[in-house]
């Protein structure tokens, strides 16, 4: 079996290539991918060569962890049928010594049936957004967590955090320094942080990934408030102790989504409680992957780039 996939051979060395696929085993399915998303967090770090040491890291690799497509091969015991529309969080199924650390940016994927999620057939490109939506849900869900009343960053993750907060009955304020990205809010305010005078936020969720913000955010906390690090940080994250001490500040790191988050998120999307509309600003054919990745990582107006694989063999 062979497929066409995006190969990242090294920093800024990216292109489309033909790859061998490992044969499916018992319990595996084969999925033909229609759309995959480009992450401006982890994928950008690999593309730029700034990713900190990470288990399984190395080049060449197939990037991506957001893909949606159709099952084209499945044994009866998998519980899936040919034609099922599914979300796939990547796969490690490539031959030729190519790593599948994430491995979603490929026309075909072989993966365990337990790793994929059946989704509504009507979800087309937006189906690839489920991982990011589940990640936002993971940050908010759990024990002793408070809904954000301040979200930092109005990118895709920040918008999903805001939408989930609204769905849960909250009313967040969102900070965004880019005037273009302040647009698109429904049911909440997006403001320039320089215009905000509040100093009593109970729960601040940082979706910006900017490691130098903690001291600024601590000053905006109510006493006993919490800062949730929902982004991914490449540099050491530090803060000045005395102001945090005076506020009795709490810090929490939100990691990636789990199976429960995916189930809950899919249910919210299918019921209409969570909309994924308006998050995809750019779509490109997979044959133009090199330019698409550059746009996703360098164009500040690109909120979310989706690769369309349907014209790719």
What would the mean pLDDT of 220-227 be, rounded to a whole number?
97
Residues 296 and 241 in one domain: no
User: Which structure tokens are listed for 201?
Assistant: 């936020």
Asked if residue 269 belongs to a domain, the reply is: no
Asked if residue 199 belongs to a domain, the reply is: yes
Band the pLDDT of 100: cuts 50, 70, 90: confident
Residues 114 and 178 in one domain: no
Residues 191 and 230 in one domain: yes
Residues 94 and 156 in one domain: no
Asked if residue 83 belongs to a domain, the reply is: yes
pLDDT of residue 178: 94
pLDDT of residue 145: 85
Q: Give tens-digit pLDDT for 61-76.
A: 999 999 999 999 999 9
Residues 207 and 246 in one domain: yes
* Residue 168 · residue 113 · CB < 8 Å: no
Residues 148 and 174 in one domain: yes
pLDDT of residue 51: 81
Q: Which domain holds residue 281?
A: 2-123+276-308
Q: Whole-angstrom Cα distance, residue 21 to residue 268?
A: 34
Residues 84 and 159 in one domain: no
Asked if residue 282 belongs to a domain, the reply is: yes
Asked if residue 213 belongs to a domain, the reply is: yes
Asked if residue 270 belongs to a domain, the reply is: no
* Residue 221 · residue 246 · CB < 8 Å: no
Asked if residue 313 belongs to a domain, the reply is: no
CA 271 to chain CA centroid, nearest Å: 21
Residues 7 and 119 in one domain: yes
How many structural domains is the chain composed of? Answer: 2
In 3D, which of 205, 195, 213 has the Cα closest to residue 154?
205
CATH value at residue 89: 3.90.180.10
Between β-strands 108-112 and 28-38, what pairing exists: parallel, antiparallel or unpaired?
Answer: antiparallel
pLDDT of residue 227: 97
* Residue 234 · residue 208 · CB < 8 Å: no
Q: Give tens-digit pLDDT for 135-168.
A: 999 999 977 789 999 999 999 999 999 999 999 9
pLDDT at 309 over 90: yes
Asked if residue 129 belongs to a domain, the reply is: no
pLDDT of residue 146: 92
pLDDT of residue 56: 67
Q: Whole-angstrom Cα distance, residue 258 to residue 160?
A: 17
For residue 30, the number of C-alpha atoms closer than 13 Å in the C-beta half-sphere is 14
CATH value at residue 216: 3.40.50.720
Residues 140 and 114 in one domain: no
Q: Give tens-digit pLDDT for 229-257.
A: 998 887 889 999 999 999 999 999 998 89
Band the pLDDT of 114: cuts 50, 70, 90: very high
Which neighbouring-strand residues pair with 204? 150, 227
What average pLDDT is seen over the chain? 93
Residues 29 and 116 in one domain: yes
Residues 109 and 33 in one domain: yes
Between β-strands 282-285 and 305-308, what pairing exists: parallel, antiparallel or unpaired?
Answer: parallel
Beta strands (DSSP E) in the chain are: 2-10, 13-20, 28-38, 67-74, 85-88, 108-112, 117-118, 150-152, 173-175, 189-191, 201-206, 221-229, 250-253, 282-285, 305-308
Q: Which residue is associated with the tokens 């929490």? A: 252
Residues 114 and 206 in one domain: no
Q: Whole-angstrom Cα distance, residue 36 to residue 204?
A: 30
pTM value?
0.93
């Amino acid at each position: 079996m062979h497929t066409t996939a995006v190969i990242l051979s090294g920093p800024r060395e990216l292109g489309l290539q033909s790859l061998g696929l490992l044969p499916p085993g018992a319990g595996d399915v084969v999925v033909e991918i229609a759309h995959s998303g480009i992450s401006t967090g982890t994928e950008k770090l690999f593309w730029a060569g700034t990713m900190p040491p990470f288990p399984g890291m190395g080049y060449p690799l197939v990037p991506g962890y957001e893909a949606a497509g159709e099952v084209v091969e499945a044994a009866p015991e998998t519980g899936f049928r040919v034609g099922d529309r599914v979300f796939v969080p990547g796969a490690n199924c490539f031959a030729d010594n190519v790593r599948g650390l994430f491995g979603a940016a490929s026309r075909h994927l072989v993966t365990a049936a337990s790793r994929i999620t059946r989704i509504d057939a009507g979800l087309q490109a937006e189906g690839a957004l489920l991982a990011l939506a589940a990640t936002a849900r993971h940050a908010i869900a759990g024990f002793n967590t408070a809904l954000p009343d301040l979200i930092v960053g109005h990118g895709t993750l920040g918008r999903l955090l805001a939408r989930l907060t609204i769905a849960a009955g909250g009313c967040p304020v969102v900070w965004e320094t880019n005037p273009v990205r302040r647009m698109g809010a429904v049911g909440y305010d997006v403001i320039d942080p320089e215009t905000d005078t509040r100093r009593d936020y109970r729960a601040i969720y940082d979706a910006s990934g900017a490691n130098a913000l903690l001291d600024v955010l601590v000053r905006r906390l109510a006493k006993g408030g919490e800062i949730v690090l929902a982004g991914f940080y490449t540099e050491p994250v530090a803060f000045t102790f005395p102001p945090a001490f005076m506020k009795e500040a709490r810090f929490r790191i939100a990691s990636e989504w789990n199976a429960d988050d995916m189930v809950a998120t899919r249910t919210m999307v299918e019921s209409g409680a969570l909309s994924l509309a308006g998050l995809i600003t750019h779509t490109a054919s997979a044959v133009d992957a090199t330019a698409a990745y550059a746009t996703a990582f360098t164009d500040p107006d690109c909120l979310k780039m989706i690769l369309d694989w349907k014209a790719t063999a």
